[in-house]
C-alpha cells in the first residue's frame, strides 16, 4: 500500500459527460501528479500540483482540469468525454519538488467512456 488513495476505482460513463477523479496523497506529501495510461501506452504525465499551486503541465487536454485543495487532496476533472479518453488515470504524490523525490502511485481509476 503506497498510502495514496484514489476514488473511484472504476468509472463508466458516456461520451459528452463530465467526471471527477479524486486523489488523496500520502500524509505529508505536498506534490501531486496526475498521469494517464491508455491502452498499450506508457504513463503520460498530465499535470503537477505543489501545495495547492499548479507546478507543471504535460500533455493535458484543454477539456481536462485539475486542482489541489487546502487539505492537499486533488481532483482531476474530465469534461466533454470522448471514447479516446478511456484509460487508467493514476495519481502520485511526493514529499517535495526535487526530482529525486520518489513518487508514490495510487492504484488508479479506470475510466471507460461508452
Partner 1 sequence: DQQVKQNSPSLSVQEGRISILNCDYTNSMFDYFLWYKKYPAEGPTFLISISSIKDKNEDGRFTVFLNKSAKHLSLHIVPSQPGDSAVYFCAASAIEGYGGSQGNLIFGKGTKLSVKP
Output the smallest distance, CB 108 to partner 1, in A. Answer: 6
Q: Are 54 and 69 in contact (CB under 8 A)?
A: no
Torsions phi, psi of 54, nearest 5?
A: -65, 130
Question: Among residues 19, 87, 106, 113, which is the contact residue for partner 1, using CB under 8 A?
Answer: 106
Residues 6+ apart with CB under 8 A from 13: 19, 81, 111, 112, 113, 114
In this chain, which of 12, 14, 83, 97 binds partner 1, going by CB under 8 A? 97
Instruction: Rule CB under 8 A: say whether 61 interacts with partner 1.
Output: no
Of the candidates 95, 93, 75, the one whose C-alpha atom is nearest the C-alpha of residue 32 is 93
Is residue 89 at the binding interface for partner 1, with CB under 8 A as the rule?
no
Tell me which of 44, 65, 67, 86 binds partner 1, using CB under 8 A. 44
Contact set with partner 1 (CB under 8 A): 2, 4, 31, 33, 35, 40-45, 48, 55-58, 90, 92, 94, 97-108
Amino acid at each position: 500500500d503506497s498510502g495514496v488513495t484514489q476514488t473511484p476505482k472504476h468509472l463508466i460513463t458516456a461520451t459528452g459527460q463530465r467526471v471527477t477523479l479524486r486523489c488523496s496523497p500520502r500524509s505529508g506529501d505536498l506534490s501531486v501528479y496526475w498521469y494517464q495510461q491508455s491502452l498499450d501506452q506508457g504513463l503520460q504525465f498530465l499535470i503537477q500540483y505543489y501545495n495547492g499551486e499548479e507546478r507543471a503541465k504535460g500533455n493535458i487536454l484543454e477539456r481536462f482540469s485539475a486542482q489541489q485543495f487546502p487539505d492537499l487532496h486533488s481532483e482531476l476533472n474530465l469534461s466533454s468525454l470522448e471514447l479516446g479518453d478511456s484509460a487508467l488515470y493514476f495519481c502520485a504524490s511526493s514529499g517535495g519538488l526535487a526530482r529525486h523525490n520518489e513518487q508514490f502511485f495510487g492504484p488508479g481509476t479506470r475510466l471507460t467512456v461508452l
